[in-house]
Amino acid sequence: MSCESYDWKAYALGELAANERREAETHAATCEGCRGELAHVRLTVDTLSALREEEVPRRIAFVSDKVFEPRWWEMFLKPSFAAALVLAAAIVMHGYLMRPAALDEAAIQAQVNQAVTRAVANVERQNAELNTKLTMFYVKQTGIKYQ
């Protein structure tokens, strides 16, 4: 290849593919003119790098604008909000289904009355049995017939 076919600016600026770079380097190793041209390009680019980078005088920042904020109904479309909504509904449903049955005060009162009646009858029966036993014992011991 002739010297004109080598693009030393592209080489110095890192635009050549790996195989093109190798080919150019092989040529430059044996061509003083191309080495000189490459040196000039590199020196120009290196000199350009002396330009100081300036600091930004003041920070660029933006504040939230209502125009860009989501509307109220758009929050329902958020996955996190929908998940929270489903969880809350599940808790409410569980509480409703698992509530204790409503109490019937009349039925309870009837049950109490029945229990009291049974207890009173039981005590009266026991007292009658005890009286009978005591009477029989007294008759046996004294021979006096109890009237």
Sites of contact with another protein (CB under 8 A):
9-10, 13, 15, 40-41, 43-45, 47-65, 68-70
73/146 with CB nearer another protein: 73
Structure tokens at 89: 């509904």
10/31 with CB nearer another protein: 10
Query: Smallest gap, in angstroms, from Cβ of residue 17 to another protein?
Result: 12
53/104 with CB nearer another protein: 53
Query: Smallest gap, in angstroms, from Cβ of residue 73 to another protein?
Result: 15
Whole-angstrom distance, CA of residue 127 vs CA of residue 31? 137
Give the DSSP H/E element, type plus range, for residue 131: helix 105-142
> Whole-angstrom distance between the N-terminal and C-terminal Cα of the chain?
154
Query: Smallest gap, in angstroms, from Cβ of residue 27 to another protein?
Result: 19
3/115 with CB nearer another protein: 3
22/78 with CB nearer another protein: 78
CB 123 within 8 Å of CB 116: no
Query: Smallest gap, in angstroms, from Cβ of residue 21 to another protein?
Result: 15
Per-residue burial over 18-37, b if 16 or more Cβ lie within 10 Å, else e, is eeeeeebeebbeeeeebeeb
Query: Smallest gap, in angstroms, from Cβ of residue 11 to another protein?
Result: 12
| 101 torsion bin: left (phi>0), alpha (psi -120 to 50), beta (else) | beta
